[in-house]
């Protein structure tokens, strides 16, 4: 990938600001479930090359598939350890001792495990062995292996004027634009690195499918969409007819459990019958994913009807029906056309979901767009340009022209802290890259500061930006 010079410039400036400042030990920004950890691993977020607990080099050649039945977490994997290729399964546990706690060592289903991953281990040496008494290579994972920004920071800085507003007010607009644009390019570079890690782990089309699915989750349900797209990989689901594909999507999501079509309109009853006519034949093979421990955790409170994850699944189903038109411009940067790709997404329709917000909702009076302008903008910002700009850097100029269609609480707080009542604050929110740059500065400085702005080094170091 071609490096982006402004991104590197901003990163060097940020590192210089914090030089000499004590850093916390690497760790996760917030607790994660075992399912979330498995999802990060499967996406290649921890990387491909590791050192086992007995100092042997190991490389993941094939991440395999996420197991839906009894046995290890991932099956059909391949690892290369000291030049020798081993094919089998991979088990990921929060703690090394979970191997014995869950009786994996006595379970024949785990005899093909070739790698045991964990995040915690006892001080005394712990060995992983199968029921055949074969030693299993071990790798200790830690948060420091993850790329920057993989987990969002869980808090917000106070919505008030920051000390950085004074030096920013004195800077000419071109210098302010320069630092915001550089921060935006750094943010896009971080997204690009994460996306291309997934490409390396799962292949280009699967990585794109997963990233697009994630954008359909909006803020609250991104993780369930990621896991769903990992459990139902593109190469499997794209081969199905539309009816079977949607049965898989809504069945494995858990949305068909307990749903009854009594007293619903004819269109709803017909659609549910269509889903269940396929799902009842498939359900028995994925019962592991439907138990309480592995069931997807959807957040449904305070969600607008149009953003309900059931409707977003309907949009994903429509995208898969038009997949060739969606993937072709993203498969090769030289074939990219923003206008054509945007039109493809905006024109998607579905016989049921174009007029329904949930499985049991009444039909709307008129069809409603499955994917609107603001969602397309999110896909451009988080998938298309992070994927393509490093491969064709001239697209950066095209990215700079994207308008900002929506803001959010973090953007508003960033503007308040950096600009206050300075009218230029509004000028620096008109473009998408403005918002992206402000978010990066807010996260790098405002959210890293725990002194209520008093000891943040950013204001004093702004004069060094030229």
The number of C-alpha atoms within 13 Å of 221 and in the hemisphere containing its C-beta is 24
Contact between residue 48 and residue 60 where contact means Cβ atoms under 8 Å apart:
yes
Q: Which residue has the tokens 């014995």?
A: 100
Contact between residue 254 and residue 296 where contact means Cβ atoms under 8 Å apart:
yes
* Residue 116, pLDDT score: 97
Q: Is the dihedral of CA 50, 56, 61, 62 positive or negative?
A: negative
Assigned token pair, 117? 């991953």
Question: CB within 8 A of 426, min separation 6: which ones?
Answer: 415
* Residue 306, pLDDT score: 87
pLDDT tens column, 330-368: 999 999 999 999 999 999 999 999 999 999 999 999 999
Angle made by CA atoms 88, 94, 96, in degrees to the nearest 5: 70
3-state secondary structure of 419: helix
One-character DSSP codes across 85-107:
EEEEEEEEEEETTHHHHTTGGG-
The Cα 119–Cα 418 span in angstroms is 38
Contact between residue 212 and residue 315 where contact means Cβ atoms under 8 Å apart:
no
Assigned token pair, 425? 């604050």
3-state secondary structure of 84: strand
| CB neighbours of residue 243 within 10 Å | 12
Query: 266: buried, middle or exposed (CB in 10 Å: 19+, 13-18, 0-12)?
Result: exposed
3-state secondary structure of 129: strand
* Residue 23, pLDDT score: 38
Contact between residue 355 and residue 297 where contact means Cβ atoms under 8 Å apart:
no
The Cα 65–Cα 68 span in angstroms is 9
Q: Which of 269, 255, 355 is nearest to 310 (CA)?
A: 255
* Residue 449, pLDDT score: 79
* Residue 26, pLDDT score: 36
The string over 53-67, giving b where at least 16 C-beta atoms fall within 10 Å of a residue's C-beta and e elsewhere, is beeeebebebbbbbb
Q: Is the dihedral of CA 48, 10, 436, 166 positive or negative?
A: positive
Question: pLDDT tens digits, the chain, 466 residues: what are they?
Answer: 555 677 788 888 887 776 654 433 334 445 577 888 899 999 999 999 999 999 999 999 999 999 988 899 999 999 999 889 999 999 999 899 999 999 999 999 999 999 999 998 888 888 999 999 999 999 999 888 888 766 555 566 676 788 999 999 999 999 999 999 999 999 999 999 999 999 999 999 999 999 999 999 988 899 999 999 999 999 999 999 999 999 999 999 999 988 877 778 899 999 999 999 999 999 988 988 988 888 999 999 888 888 999 999 999 999 999 999 999 999 999 999 999 999 999 999 999 999 999 999 999 999 999 999 999 999 999 999 999 999 999 999 999 999 998 888 889 999 999 998 888 888 899 999 999 999 999 988 888 877 778 888 888 888 888 7
* Residue 242, pLDDT score: 94
Assigned token pair, 279? 């799902």
Question: What SS3 string covers 40-82?
Answer: HHHCCCCCCEEECCCCCEEEEEECCEECCCCCCCEEEEEEEEC
From residue 303, how far is each of 308, 346, 357, 358 by CA, in Å?
A: 6, 22, 11, 12
From residue 74, how far is each of 37, 71, 106, 251, 374 by CA, in Å?
A: 13, 9, 18, 21, 36
The Cα 229–Cα 205 span in angstroms is 12
* Residue 24, pLDDT score: 34
The Cα 51–Cα 54 span in angstroms is 8
From residue 427, how far is each of 282, 403, 415 by CA, in Å?
A: 54, 12, 10
**Residues in the chain, total:** 466
Q: What is the dihedral of CA 180, 185, 187, 192, to 10 degrees?
A: 170
């Amino acid at each position: 990938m071609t490096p982006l010079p402004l991104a590197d410039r901003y990163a060097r400036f940020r590192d210089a600001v914090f030089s000499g400042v004590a850093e916390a030990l690497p760790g996760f920004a917030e607790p994660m479930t075992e399912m979330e950890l498995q999802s990060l691993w499967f996406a290649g977020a921890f990387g491909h090359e590791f050192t086992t607990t007995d100092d042997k080099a190991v490389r993941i050649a094939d991440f395999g598939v996420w197991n839906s039945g009894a046995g290890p977490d991932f099956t059909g994997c391949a690892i290369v350890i000291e030049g020798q290729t081993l094919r089998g399964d991979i088990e990921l546990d929060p703690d090394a001792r979970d191997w014995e706690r869950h009786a994996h060592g006595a379970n024949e289903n785990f005899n093909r495990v070739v790698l045991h991953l964990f995040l915690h281990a006892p001080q005394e040496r712990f060995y992983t062995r199968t029921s055949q008494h074969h030693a299993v290579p071990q790798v200790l994972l830690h948060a420091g292996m993850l790329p920057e920004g993989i987990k969002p920071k869980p808090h917000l800085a106070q919505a008030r004027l920051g000390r950085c507003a004074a030096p920013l007010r004195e800077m000419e607009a071109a210098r302010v634009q320069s630092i915001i644009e550089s921060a935006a390019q750094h943010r896009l570079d971080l997204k690009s690195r994460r996306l291309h890690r997934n490409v390396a782990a799962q292949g280009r089309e699967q990585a794109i499918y997963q990233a697009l699915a994630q954008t359909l989750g909006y803020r609250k349900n991104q993780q369930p969409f990621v896991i769903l797209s990992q459990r139902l990989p593109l190469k499997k689901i794209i081969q199905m007819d539309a009816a079977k594909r949607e049965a898989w999507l809504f069945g494995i999501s858990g949305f068909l459990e307990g749903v009854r079509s009594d007293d619903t309109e004819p269109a709803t009853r017909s659609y549910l019958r269509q889903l269940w006519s396929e799902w009842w034949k498939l359900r028995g093979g994925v019962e592991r994913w439907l138990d309480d421990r592995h069931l997807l955790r959807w957040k449904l409170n305070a969600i607008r009807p149009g953003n309900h994850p059931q409707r977003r699944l309907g949009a994903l189903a429509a995208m898969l029906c038009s997949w060739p038109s969606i993937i072709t411009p993203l498969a090769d940067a030289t074939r990219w056309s923003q206008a054509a790709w945007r039109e493809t997404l905006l024109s998607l329709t579905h016989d049921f979901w174009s007029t329904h917000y949930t499985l049991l909702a009444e039909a709307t009076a008129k069809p409603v767009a499955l994917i609107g302008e603001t969602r397309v903008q999110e896909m451009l910002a988080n998938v298309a340009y992070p994927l393509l700009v490093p491969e064709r850097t001239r697209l950066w100029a095209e990215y700079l022209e994207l308008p900002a269609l929506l803001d959010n609480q973090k953007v508003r707080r960033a503007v308040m802290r950096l600009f206050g009542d300075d009218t230029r604050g509004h000028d620096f929110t008109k473009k998408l890259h403005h918002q992206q740059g402000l978010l990066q500065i807010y996260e790098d400085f405002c959210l890293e500061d725990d002194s209520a702005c008093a000891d943040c080094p950013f204001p004093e170091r702004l004069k060094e930006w030229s």
